[in-house]
Amino acid sequence: MGEKVKIGLLGRGTVGSAFEELLGERADAIAASTGKTPEISGVLNTSSGDFDQILADSDVIVELIGGIEPARESVLAALSQGKAVITANKQLVAQHGEELFAAAREHGAQLRFEAAVAGAIPIVRVISESVGEIEIDRVYGIVNGTTNFILTEMARTGASYEDALADAKELGYAESDPTDDVTGADAAAKMAILARLAFGFSVDLADVACEGIEEIRPDDLAYAKELGLSLKLLGVAERSADGVSVSVFPCFLYPGHPLAPVEGAFNAVTLFAPQINEITLSGPGAGGPETASAVLGDLVSVLSGGSPLPPEASPANMATDRSSAFYLHLEVADQPGVLASVAEVLGRHGISVRSVVQRGLGEDARLVMVMHEVPEKDFAAAVDELGKLDFMRSAPRSIRVIEEEARP
C-alpha cells in the first residue's frame, strides 16, 4: 500500500524496541493517512548492525541510542545526505542542537525531536507550531518523572529521600544510577531545549542554573503541607528585559498553580504568554511505549511533508539577577527574643513574611516561614546572617516558592 519508506533504527533498547513494535502495529494506519508505508530496513545496537549500510539502505534515521557519541556523528551523517532524522536524545539536542539544525537546514533535511522533552507530551510541536508565532514569556516544566515520583512519595508517606529513591528504583521509575535525574541535569537539558524553542535564542547548558532534590528532608514536606504547599522539581525558563534565564530547582507551589496537581511519574509543562494566558499539557514523561508514541508522531510528520526547523538563533543574553519567594526552615533555641531577632534580620534585608509555623522541640523550636518575593541575593545575605546567630541550632534551610496561584 503506497510508496515504501525505509527506516533505519539506531538503538533497540527500551524506546527502540517499543517503537519497532508500535510501528509494526500502526504501519497500515500510517499508510492510509500518509500514502507511505514505513518499514524497518536495518537495526543498530552495540553487538550487531553496520551504520554505513543502514544509512545507505534508509530514507529516515530514527536515533534511539542516547548519549552524545556515536549518536551525534550518526545524526550528522544522515542529515548531510538530506535524510530525515528523528531522535529522542535530549542531551544531543540540548548540547549540539545548533550544529544539528544548521546541518538540517544546509541539506534540506528534516529533524524531529518531540520525544526528547517530556516523553509522550507533544510540547515541542505546540511551542514550535501551534503557538509558534506568539511571544512566550515563561515556560514552567515538571520534566523529570523520577524526581516527581520521589517527591510525591515523600509527601504522601513521610519517607526519607533515600527510601523514596529506593522505591522508585524498585518500581522502575529510577535507573540504577539516578544521578542525572536527582541532580536536575536531565531536567536542565530539557529546559534548555524548551527555552531555545520558546524564545528563539540558543541556550548554553552550562548557563542553566541547576539544583537537585538530594537535600530535601521529609519535615520540609510535612511543614509545607500545613502551609498548603506542594514540592516539585521545577524547570523555569523566563524572558525579560534583562535577558533569558533558565533554571531547575526544587520549589513549593500553592494549590492554585496549574502544576501543583501533577503527581507521581507524570510530567507537565505550562506556557505563559499574554495572548494565550496559560496553556498546560501533562502526561507520561517517559516509558518505552509512551516515548515511542512521540517518535511515531514525528515519523508521521516527516512522512506528511514535515514541519519547519527552529529558525536560526543567536546566543541568549542570560539574565543573572533573579527574584523569588522563599520557604525558610530554622531550628533555634526556644528562648525569648528569637522571633524578634529573626524578624529584624529579615526586615533589614527588605524581606517580608507571608506565613509562619512555630513548633516547640524540647529546648529548641522550629520556625518555618514563607517569604514574599525578594531579590535572591538579598535573601541569600539574610540567610547567611541568620546562620551566624548564636541561638541557631543548625544551618538554615531554604527552598524557593512560586507565589502565583490562580490563573489570572
Ligand X SMILES: NC(=O)c1ccc[n+]([C@@H]2O[C@H](COP(=O)([O-])OP(=O)(O)OC[C@H]3O[C@@H](n4cnc5c(N)ncnc54)[C@H](OP(=O)(O)O)[C@@H]3O)[C@@H](O)[C@H]2O)c1
For ligand X, which stretch binds (CB under 6 A), given 87-95, 164-172, 338-346, 381-389?
87-95
- Among 6, 22, 26, 70, the residue binding ligand X under the rule CB under 6 A is 70
| Smallest gap from residue 204 Cβ to ligand X (A) | 20
Cα(361)–Cα(284) distance, rounded to whole angstroms? 41
Q: How many residues bind ligand X (CB under 6 A)?
A: 22
Residue with cell 535572591: 376
190 has catalytic annotation: yes
Does residue 44 belong to the site contacting ligand X (CB under 6 A)? yes
274 vs 135, 191, 242, 263, CA distance in Å? Answer: 8, 21, 19, 27
Q: Pick from 13, 35, 264, 315 the residue near ligand X by CB under 6 A.
A: 13
Residue 289 touches ligand X, criterion: CB under 6 A: no
DSSP-assigned letters across all residues of 335-358:
-TTHHHHHHHHHHHTT--EEEEEE
CB 286, min distance to ligand X, A? 3
Question: Pick the catalytic residue: 190, 225, 377, 388?
Answer: 190
Residue from 244, 286, 342, 365 that binds ligand X (CB under 6 A)?
A: 286
Pick 119 or 258: Cβ nearer ligand X: 119
Tell which one of 200, 287, 310, 396 touches ligand X (CB under 6 A).
Answer: 287
C-alpha cell at 140: 514552567
Total residues found in the chain within this entry: 408
CA atoms of 194 and 183, how far apart (whole Å):
19
In angstroms, the CA 285 to CA 333 distance is 44
> Closest distance between ligand X and the C-beta of residue 172, in Å?
10
d(CA 206, CA 213): 19
CB of 229 to ligand X, least distance (A): 29
Helix extents (H) in 108-205: 123-125, 145-157, 161-170, 179-182, 185-199
Name residues contacting ligand X, limited to 97-126 (CB under 6 A): 115, 119
Which grid cell is 248? 531547575
Binding site for ligand X (CB under 6 A): 11-16, 44-47, 64-66, 70, 88-90, 115, 119, 286-287, 291
Q: Enumerate the active-site residues.
A: 190
